[in-house]
Amino acid sequence: MIRAAAKNHGFVAVVTDTGDYDALLQELDANAGATGYRFRQKLALNAYARTAAYDAAVSNWLATTLDVTPRRTAVAGTLAQTLRYGENPHQSAAFYTDGQARAGVATAVQHQGKELSYNNINDTDAAVELVAEFDPKNGPACVIVKHANPCGVSQAASLVEAYQAAFQCDQTSAFGGIIALNQTLDGPTATEICKIFTEVVIAPNADEEAKQIFAQKKNLRLLTMGALPDVTAASQTIRQVSGGYLVQDKDTGQILPSDLKVVTKRAPTAQELQDLLFAWKVAKHVKSNAIVYVKDGATVGIGAGQMSRVDSTRIAARKAQDMAEVLGLEAPLTQGSVVASDAFFPFADGLITAFEAGATALIQPGGSMRDDEVIAAADAAGLAMVFTGMRHFRH
C-alpha cells in the first residue's frame, strides 16, 4: 500500500515517518488543506526509501541466515546527521546509521563539544574498535588515534597510567587526536587529557568529576557508549570502488597463545609473549604495511601505511628514537621491545632493522617464500619469533 500510494504521488500524499508530521501540517495550512506536487514528491521519496530499507533488511538477513552470497545486495541506513562537509570542505557528507544496537560511535551519547565532523566520526570508530580488543576485566586500556591510525596504545594498572603511557609513544601525533578508553573515564585521567588539545574522548561511561573537568574545554567532544562493542561479533564491511562495491566479513580474527608456533631456537619469555600478543592486537588496526613495537604493555613505536614493510619498521624505530630524545632518555624506547608485523616479512631486512632498534622478539603470520632466511636471521641475532598463521591486512 505504501508503494502504491508513492507511485500515485501525483494525487496522494503518503506519510511514512513521524518526522514529516510538522511539515505536513504546515503544508496543509499554507495551501488551504491541500498539498503541492513537489511536497508530495518528497513524501514519495521517503516512502520508497522506507520500503527499500525494509526489503534490504529482509534480504540481508536471509543471506546471512542461509549463508549465501546474493546476486544483488542493498545497503540501507537512517540519516543520523547531515555533516558540515566530508573529508575536505568541498565535499558534502552525511552520517547514516544501520539500526544495529552494537555499541560504538553510532550509538554513543555526546555530552558536550562541537558537532562531530566526518573525520571525527571515522577516527573515533577506529579508536573504539581497537580499544574494544582489550577486555576491561584485564585492566584499563587507552588508545590514541590520529587519521584513523593508532599513535599510542597502552594497558596499565590505572586509566591515567594507561593514558600517560599511550601518550608517551608519540606526543606529537597525539595533539588533536581521538582518545578511546575501555573503562569509565575518571577525574585524574580527564585532568591529564586536558593538558593538550584533543578532538574527541569516547569511553563506556564518564564520572561526574571527569564531566566537570571537561566542561572547561567547550570544544572537546565527550562521548559515552554505555558498553564496548563486541569485536568477535560477525558483520560486514563495505567499500565503494569505481562501478561497484567490495563486501567482506569484518576482521574478527583472534589469536590465543596456543595458536602460536615458535619457529626460532629461542622461545619468547613470559613477558615477551604477553607483549607480543598485545602488539598483535594493535597491528590488526594499523594500516598496512603495519609494524608495531611494544614494551611492558604499551606501544613505543608504530609504522603505518608504507609501501615497503622495512620502511614501516624504520619509521616506527625513528619515531621511537625521537620520543626518547624528547623524554631525555639515552636509550631508544624500542630497546628491549617486541615487534608485530601484520603480514609476513618478505625479506630478512625488516627483521634486522627491528633487531638494530633493540627488539628482542617478533610476531608475524609467516608464509613467505623466504621464511627460512628470516628465521635464520632471527636465530643469528638471538631473537625469539612466533608465527600466527593469520594475517591482518588493513587497507
Beta bridge partners of 83: 93
44 and 138 in a common domain: no
Q: Kindly write down the DSSP assignment for every residue of 178-208, as one continuous string.
A: EEEESS-B-HHHHHHHTTS-EEEEEES-B-H
Least confident interval from 135-144, 200-209, 245-254, 295-304 = 245-254
Asked if omega into 289 is within 30° of 0 (cis), the reply is yes
Rounded distance between C-alpha atoms, residue 366 and residue 374, angstroms: 10
101 and 21 in a common domain: no
Among 312, 293, 309, which Cα is nearest to 358's? 293
| DSSP β-ladder status, 361-364 and 384-387 | parallel
313-355: per-residue pLDDT in tens? 999 999 999 999 999 998 889 999 999 999 999 999 999 999 9
92 and 41 in a common domain: no
Question: DSSP label at 89?
Answer: T
- Residue 120 domain flag: yes
176-198: per-residue pLDDT in tens? 999 999 999 999 999 999 999 99
194 and 108 in a common domain: yes
The pLDDT of residue 64 is 86
- Residue 240 domain flag: no
Average pLDDT over residues 257-261: 96
The pLDDT of residue 333 is 93
- Other beta carbons within 10 Å of 103: 18
91 and 56 in a common domain: no
- Residue 197 domain flag: yes
- Residue 247 domain flag: no
The pLDDT of residue 81 is 93
Single pTM value for the model: 0.91
Helix axes 309-326, 159-169, angle to 10 degrees: 110
- Residue 392 domain flag: no
The pLDDT of residue 358 is 96
90 and 169 in a common domain: yes
| Identified catalytic residue from 7, 250, 261, 265 | 7
87 and 57 in a common domain: no
- Residue 159 domain flag: yes
Helix (H/G/I), strand (E/B), else coil: 385? strand
Helix (H/G/I), strand (E/B), else coil: 266? strand
Confidence of residue 236 (pLDDT cuts 50, 70, 90): confident
The pLDDT of residue 99 is 84
The pLDDT of residue 122 is 96
Report percent pLDDT > 70 for the chain: 100
**Known catalytic membership, residue 7:** yes
Report percent pLDDT > 90 for the chain: 92
The pLDDT of residue 234 is 87
Average pLDDT over residues 33-52: 94
Among 265, 263, 292, 277, which Cα is nearest to 382's? 265
Structural domain including 110 reads 78-224
| Identified catalytic residue from 42, 114, 147, 217 | 147
The pLDDT of residue 60 is 87
50-99: per-residue pLDDT in tens? 999 999 889 988 988 999 998 988 888 899 999 999 999 999 999 999 88
- Residue 394 domain flag: no
Q: How many residues does the chain have?
A: 395
The pLDDT of residue 171 is 95
**Known catalytic membership, residue 147:** yes
- Residue 71 domain flag: no
Beta bridge partners of 247: 238
310 and 191 in a common domain: no
